[in-house]
């Protein structure tokens, strides 16, 4: 559903992403792995148009979306849960979740999506009135994912969702992501928690210095100790 061809992204005068090509098939989970500072976040930010693209093309369901603005990308159904979550700290949990349904594409399905949110994260029901700024990291991550579900994603981008989370919270979050994927939503996930994400993903791409250094079936990469050592440093 998503196809990136020879993408270059600059930040200021620095060339951060160089000649990256990547595919996410329908309903697939694709992991983008690699150490910190290798360009994973810059790449996914460019997909949501928080960074601008220098050259290359991005296609979504066959349509060229390279030049669309951030809000148009959302209307296409590409929704991102960003690194650091970027919630609205002074708004309550329910207000944050409802903001997810701001996009036109999601307005008519608001009720249905909210019910789905509660089946994925039943815990959220008991904290709807709390201000988001006061929640723990794991709880905030739940709200961030819930907010993105409200936007009716076809492709969900998750940028470092396990950062700052306890092992238990991380485990629960991975389970939630698999559940969301089972409902037919494609997932592009960047992770430093390589071991765990490779277990869940169909395909994996390893980034090094802004380039794709390695790609293949996630299970193959997970099984190949030599590859892991070279490209992922574990």
Partner 1 sequence: MNMQFFQAFLDGTLMGGVYALAALGLSLIFGVMKITNFAHGAMMTVGMYAVYVVSTSLGISPYIALVFAAITLFALGYIIQHFLIDKISDAPTHNQLLLTLGVAYILENGLLAVFSPNYKTLNVDDFDGAIQLGAISISPEKLVAFAVVLIVTAVIYIVLYKTRIGKAIRACSQNKEGAKLMGIVIKKTNAVAFGIGALCTGIAGALLTPILSIYPTLGETFQLKCFVIAILGGMGNLWGALISGLIVGIVESLTGYIAGGSWSDLTVYAAFILILLVKPSGLFGRSNRREH
Residues that bind partner 1 (CB under 8 A): 48-50, 69-71, 74-75, 79-80, 82, 84-91, 95, 98-100, 102-104, 133, 147, 151, 164
Cα–Cα distance between 14 and 225 in angstroms, integer?
33
By beta-carbon proximity to partner 1, the closer residue of 110 and 202 is 110
Beta strands per DSSP E along 74-217: 78-81, 155-159, 186-191, 203-208, 211-217
Rounded Cα gap, residues 234 and 230, in angstroms = 8
Radius of gyration of the chain from its Cα atoms, rounded to whole angstroms: 17
Taking the least distance from each CB to partner 1, the nearer of 37 and 89 is: 89
Query: Alpha-carbon distance 98 to 88, whole Å?
Result: 11
Q: How far is the CB of 115 from partner 1 (least distance, A)?
A: 19
- Measured from the CB of residue 70, what is the shortest distance to partner 1 in angstroms? 4
CB of 96 to partner 1, least distance (A): 9
Q: How far is the CB of 113 from partner 1 (least distance, A)?
A: 13
Residue 50 or 65 having the CB closest to partner 1: 50
The nearer residue to partner 1, 19 or 98, going by C-beta atoms, is 98
Cβ atoms of 180 and 149 within 8 Å: the answer is yes
Rounded distance, CA 53 to CA 18, Å? 11
Task: Please state, in angstroms and as integers, the Cα–Cα distance from residue 31 to each residue in 82, 216, 217, following that order.
Answer: 15, 10, 10
- Closer CB to partner 1, 112 or 220, in the complex: 112
Nearest approach in angstroms of CB 215 to partner 1 is 26
């Amino acid at each position: 559903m998503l196809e990136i061809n020879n993408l270059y992204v600059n930040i200021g005068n620095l060339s951060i992403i160089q000649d990256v090509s990547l595919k996410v098939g329908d309903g697939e989970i694709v992991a983008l792995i690699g150490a910190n500072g290798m360009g994973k976040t810059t790449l996914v930010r460019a997909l949501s148009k928080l960074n601008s693209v220098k050259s290359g093309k991005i296609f979504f369901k066959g349509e060229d979306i390279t030049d669309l603005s951030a809000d148009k990308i959302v209307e296409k159904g590409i929704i991102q849960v960003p690194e650091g979550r970027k919630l609205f700290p002074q708004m309550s949990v329910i207000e944050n979740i409802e903001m997810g349904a701001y996009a036109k594409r999601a307005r008519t399905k608001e009720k249905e999506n909210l019910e789905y949110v509660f089946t994925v994260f039943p815990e959220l029901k008991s904290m709807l009135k709390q201000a988001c700024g006061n929640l723990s990291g794991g709880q905030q991550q739940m709200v961030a994912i819930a907010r993105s579900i409200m936007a009716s994603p076809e492709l969900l981008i998750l940028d470092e969702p396990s950062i700052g989370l306890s092992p238990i919270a991380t485990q629960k979050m991975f389970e939630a992501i698999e559940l969301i994927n089972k409902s037919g939503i494609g997932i592009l996930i960047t992770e430093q928690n390589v071991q765990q994400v490779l277990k869940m993903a169909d395909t994996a791409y390893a980034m090094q210095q802004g380039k794709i250094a390695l790609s293949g079936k996630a299970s193959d990469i997970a099984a190949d100790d030599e590859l892991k050592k070279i490209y992922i440093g574990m």
